[in-house]
């Protein structure tokens, strides 16, 4: 028998508790389907090549260099590894740097990523996560979100009929920027506005360069001398100058005003199931549109994400911000408080669950990084919103697996034809002594 280096290494399935919800989920995720659906995004591109001057036996000539498919470059990391890193990042609220460091210290995370042996190293450089997100694009991250919904239905953690009734609401996803609240930031904001106007060829009535610099000096000196009344007066004047410049630029160029607005944050629409609180859609809407005008696109995205399950949203429960859009959504039955008198008793009872989306939005911001978007541009806003929703669904799956416990495994046995074995195990393991589902996943 030949002995390899792996003979002296510890296998992860022998190091970790396979009853851990993350280990159970690792064996239930459709990794092959995910890799197959994303494969076309990572195919090497055919290059047209470039003409360069060369010489041969007959004199000067032109040849085409660099044409075809290049085989140079570093081999790509496994798709499952990179996808699992994105799932873990937003499920456990980690930055790119902290994520890869914690991955090298957590055997359960490495098992979820497809490793067979424990490796006390970084899986990749943090910058590779940035490049991977760009390669995925909005369609790729939506595929990751759709797979979490399919797993929830496959494991019978939520009934497929529940996907037809959704709750839709919107929130603000702020950019990770420093807001101008003190003297130094206000002066920086003034400088940036003047630079932006100059780059777009806008002539300003006044740039306030000399006064802005002088006000910054005054505010610092007044603060040092503890003359706070004078300091606040200087800061107020700085805010007035920034406001004047912003309004002047907005009047003279509408597109620039929209770009400045997008730099501060973007509206994000969230769609969840009426019962079960599983996210079935998350989409960024630049330009701060009216809530009702986002409903059609939000429902369209949710329909695409769950179309593989043979269903689509039919009823939407919303707040009063979505009034007056019934004509634009003829295939959707919209329910809100403004129609209360025309609702049936069951619909009135279901409408009370509309508020369930509010704590979901709170968890997205507090636990899954939606409170601050560190990705660049409007494309970064779109990617970040969908990834936060995917991270929420991963935590939802882990929580439901822990709650279902052994009953989940027995249900899977029955559904796969092992009925007699399933009934015997149910008699053995399920009884009054079972206190926690998370403690009864030994057979998964």
Residue 302 and residue 197 in one domain: no
DSSP string, 2-47: ---GGGGS-BHHHHS-TTSHHHHHHHHS-HHHHHHHHGGGGSPPEE
Q: What is the pLDDT of residue 4?
A: 56
Q: What is the pLDDT of residue 76?
A: 83
Look-up: residue for tokens 């025309």? 342
Residue 269 and residue 381 in one domain: yes
Residue 304 and residue 275 in one domain: yes
Please report whether residue 169 resides in a domain: yes
- Read off the tokens for 354: 């509309």
Within 8 A by CB and 6+ apart from 88, the residues are 94, 99, 103, 109, 112, 113, 394
- Read off the tokens for 122: 């970084």
Residue 163 and residue 187 in one domain: no
Strands 279-285 and 50-56: unpaired
DSSP label of 117: B
107 sits in the region (left: phi over 0; alpha: psi -120 to 50; else beta) called alpha
Between the alpha carbon of residue 94 and those of residues 85, 343, 370, the distances in Å are: 10, 44, 12
Rounded to the nearest 10°, the torsion over CA 78, 81, 86, 92 is -170
Count of domains for the chain: 3
Strands 165-175 and 265-273: antiparallel
Is 285 strand, coil or helix? strand
Residue 312 and residue 166 in one domain: yes
Please report whether residue 53 resides in a domain: no
| Residue at which a domain ends, from 262, 277, 293 | 262
Please report whether residue 196 resides in a domain: yes
Please report whether residue 435 resides in a domain: yes
Please report whether residue 27 resides in a domain: no
373 sits in the region (left: phi over 0; alpha: psi -120 to 50; else beta) called beta
Displacement of CA 141 from its chain's centroid (Å): 8
Q: What is the pLDDT of residue 60?
A: 73
List per-residue pLDDT tens for the chain, 444 residues long: 445 556 667 789 889 998 899 999 999 999 999 999 999 888 766 666 667 777 666 667 776 665 565 666 677 899 999 999 999 999 999 999 999 999 999 999 999 999 999 988 899 999 999 999 999 999 999 999 999 999 999 999 999 999 999 999 999 998 887 767 789 889 988 998 898 888 888 889 999 999 999 999 999 999 999 999 999 999 999 999 999 998 888 888 755 555 555 556 789 999 999 999 999 999 999 878 889 999 999 999 999 999 999 999 999 999 999 998 999 899 999 999 999 999 999 999 999 999 999 999 999 999 999 999 999 888 999 999 999 999 999 999 999 999 887 566 555 555 555 445 445 545 544 444 333 444 344 333
Residue by residue, what is the 3-state secondary structure of 304-343? HHCHHHCCCCCEEECCHHHCCCCCCCCCCEEECHHHHHHC
Please report whether residue 171 resides in a domain: yes
Q: What is the pLDDT of residue 363?
A: 96
End-to-end CA distance of the chain: 32
Please report whether residue 25 resides in a domain: no
**CB pairs under 8 A, 24+ apart, for 2-9?**
6/116, 6/117, 9/117, 9/118
| Residue at which a domain ends, from 262, 288, 316 | 262
CATH code of 292's domain = 3.30.420
CB-based contact 190:208 (threshold 8 Å):
yes
Residue 232 and residue 297 in one domain: no
Residue 288 and residue 355 in one domain: yes
Residue 206 and residue 323 in one domain: no
Residue 245 and residue 298 in one domain: no
Phi, psi of 64 (to 5 degrees): -100, 120
Residue 370 and residue 422 in one domain: no
Residue 164 and residue 187 in one domain: no
Please report whether residue 91 resides in a domain: no
Residue 360 and residue 282 in one domain: yes
Structural domain containing residue 351: 159-176+265-386
**DSSP tally for the chain: helices H, then strands E:** 17, 10
Q: What is the pLDDT of residue 430?
A: 45
| Residue at which a domain ends, from 230, 262, 294 | 262
């Amino acid at each position: 028998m030949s002995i390899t280096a792996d003979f002296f290494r510890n296998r992860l399935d022998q190091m970790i508790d396979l009853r851990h919800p993350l280990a159970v989920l690792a064996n239930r995720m459709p990794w092959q389907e995910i890799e197959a659906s994303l494969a076309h995004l990572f195919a090497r591109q055919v290059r047209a090549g470039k003409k360069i001057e060369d010489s041969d036996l007959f004199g000067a000539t032109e040849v085409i260099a660099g044409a075809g498919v290049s085989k140079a470059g570093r081999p790509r990391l496994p798709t499952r590894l990179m996808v699992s890193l994105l799932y873990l990042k937003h499920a456990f609220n980690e930055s790119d740097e902290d994520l890869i460091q914690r991955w090298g210290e957590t055997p359960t995370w490495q098992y979820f990523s497809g490793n067979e042996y424990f490796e006390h190293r970084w899986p990749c450089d943090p910058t590779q996560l940035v490049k991977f997100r760009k390669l995925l694009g909005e369609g790729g991250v939506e595929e990751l979100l759709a797979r979490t919904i399919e797993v929830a239905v496959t494991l019978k953690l939520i009934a497929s009929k529940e996907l037809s009734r959704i709750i839709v609401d919107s929130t603000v996803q702020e950019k990770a920027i420093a807001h101008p609240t003190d003297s130094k930031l206000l002066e920086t904001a003034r400088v940036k506005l003047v630079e932006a106007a100059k780059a777009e060829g806008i002539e300003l009535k006044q740039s306030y360069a000399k006064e802005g610099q002088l006000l910054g000096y005054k505010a610092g000196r007044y603060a040092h001398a503890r003359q706070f009344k004078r300091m606040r007066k200087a800061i107020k004047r700085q805010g007035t100058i920034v406001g004047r410049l912003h309004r002047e630029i907005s009047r003279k160029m509408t597109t620039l005003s929209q770009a400045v607005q997008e730099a501060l944050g973007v509206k994000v629409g969230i769609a969840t199931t009426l019962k079960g609180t599983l996210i079935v859609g998350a989409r960024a809407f630049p330009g701060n549109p009216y809530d009702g005008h986002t409903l059609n696109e939000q429902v369209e995205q949710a329909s695409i994400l769950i179309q593989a399950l043979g269903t689509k949203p039919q009823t939407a429960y919303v707040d009063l911000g979505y009034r007056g859009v019934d004509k634009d959504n003829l295939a959707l039955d919209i329910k809100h408080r403004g129609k209360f008198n025309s609702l049936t008793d069951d619909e009135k009872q279901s409408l009370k669950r509309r508020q369930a989306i509010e704590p979901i939005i709170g968890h997205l911001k507090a636990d899954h990084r939606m409170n601050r978007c560190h990705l660049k541009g409007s494309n970064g806003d779109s990617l970040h919103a969908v990834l936060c929703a995917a991270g929420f669904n991963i935590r939802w799956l882990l929580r439901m697996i822990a709650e279902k416990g052994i009953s989940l495994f027995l249900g899977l046995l029955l559904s796969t034809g092992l009925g007699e074995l399933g009934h015997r195990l149910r008699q053995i393991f399920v009884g009054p002594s079972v206190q926690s589902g998370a403690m009864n996943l030994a057979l998964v």
